[in-house]
Amino acid sequence: MTVQESRVNGIDTSVLQETVKAIQADPELAKCTFRVSNQWVGGAHNRTTVDGFYGAKQEMSHKQRFQMDADEPPMLAGQDEGANPVEHLLNALAACVTTSMVAHAAVRGIKVEELESQIEGDIDLRGFLGLSPGTPKGFTTIRMKVRAKASSEDLKKLKEFSGYSPVLNTITNGAKVNVEIEGK
Amino acid sequence: MTVQESRVNGIDTSVLQETVKAIQADPELAKCTFRVSNQWVGGAHNRTTVDGFYGAKQEMSHKQRFQMDADEPPMLAGQDEGANPVEHLLNALAACVTTSMVAHAAVRGIKVEELESQIEGDIDLRGFLGLSPGTPKGFTTIRMKVRAKASSEDLKKLKEFSGYSPVLNTITNGAKVNVEIEGK
């Protein structure tokens, strides 16, 4: 098989296959720690920086430094200098489900020609504002609609592959979050 | 009180107070639907667009359109054109906890001079890759360390305010995610 032939859906499946083989031989290689740092800019505006992560038993650098700005719209007392945090959460979910579907399809030789999605969730601000103790503060249900160019049989498989998404699993199963605060 | 005096931590607290009053008079105003759309670019690269949301009983536009790119590093068969989806999730959480602390401090007249954070979570890739059915596919514990310039009494309050964060609540309590797929 040539390098050209190992590429499905724009993904070099030989890289994933090598990763799988290496992890099967040494499961420690699978352990990753992802991390970001965030700097409060002022008001509702803050900025996240992503430099690298730990994986394959070593510190890894991204090819470039990534920065993401978050802010709130004026009705929530912000200046609208970035998507707001819950929109960033929906972004993470849409991105992760998309990549999970496309990558799992690729290693199985299933070609996807086009794929797009819309994702939405409801929030009752009385929770965040502390006006109603019984009102959830976050999303309780999130709806994602995916449109893909693939056979109806493959569409069913894509839906199954969405179940591999780490972000989807974190949100549906829940995760513990430890927040520690110290002075500076 | 002048406009100048109503600004704490860079947040115009009079805007939040007006929002609170309006919602107390008409709880329907608190209902928001946030949404993003995502376009698969190719491989592990996809792009989210954020235009507007529904809130205060009307469609609202952001001041500008926001776009966020997601990709994977080369070891995960990507081209590193953006932070990866789980890093985007950590960004959403860091941003939301930061804003929740600063905004709740502001409406209580608590001044925060500086605030920054680091956040990390572990993922065992055997889950995502489908190599180990018993291994969680997402984060199970996320650690956030915040450093703020504030009195020790106020630091305790900031920690308490983090509990209002919609993203933190979504992740710790979990949310249902409905994924629908159709052909195009």
Q: Which of B63, B122, B143 sits opposite A80 (nearest CB)?
A: B63
Contact between residue A100 and residue A161 where contact means Cβ atoms under 8 Å apart: yes
The rounded mean pLDDT for chain A is 95
Contact between residue B28 and residue A61 where contact means Cβ atoms under 8 Å apart: no
Position A52 confidence tier, pLDDT thresholds 50, 70, 90:
very high
Confidence at residue B2, expressed as pLDDT on a 0 to 100 scale: 47
pLDDT tens-digit readout, A114-128: 999 999 999 999 999
Confidence at residue B5, expressed as pLDDT on a 0 to 100 scale: 61
Confidence at residue A5, expressed as pLDDT on a 0 to 100 scale: 61
Confidence at residue B1, expressed as pLDDT on a 0 to 100 scale: 44
Predicted-complex ipTM score: 0.97
Nearest CA in chain A to B6: A77
DSSP-derived 3-state class of residue B71: coil
Average pLDDT over residues A154-183: 98
Q: Which H or E run contains B161?
A: helix B152-161
Which ranges of chain B have pLDDT less than 70? Answer: 1-5
Nearest CA in chain A to B12: A77
Nearest CA in chain A to B90: A36
Q: What is the number of alpha carbons within 13 Å of residue B126 lying toward its C-beta? A: 18
pLDDT tens-digit readout, A54-82: 999 999 999 999 999 999 999 899 999 99
Is B146 within 8 Å of A89 when comparing Cβ atoms? no
Q: Which H or E run contains A127?
A: helix A125-128
Number of other CB atoms surrounding residue A79 within 10 Å: 17
Task: Please give, rounded to a whole number of angstroms, the shortest distance from the CA of A2 to a CA of chain B.
Answer: 17
Q: How far is it, in rounded angstroms, from Cα A125 to Cα A123?
A: 6
Question: What string of DSSP letters covers B72-139?
Answer: --GGGT---SSB-HHHHHHHHHHHHHHHHHHHHHHHTT-----EEEEEEEEEEHHHHTTS-TTS-SS-
Q: Which of B83, B95, B122 sits opposite A33 (nearest CB)?
A: B122
Average pLDDT over residues A108-119: 97
Q: Is any Cβ of chain B less than 8 angstroms from the Cβ of A153? A: no
Q: How far is it, in rounded angstroms, from Cα B159 to Cα A182?
A: 10
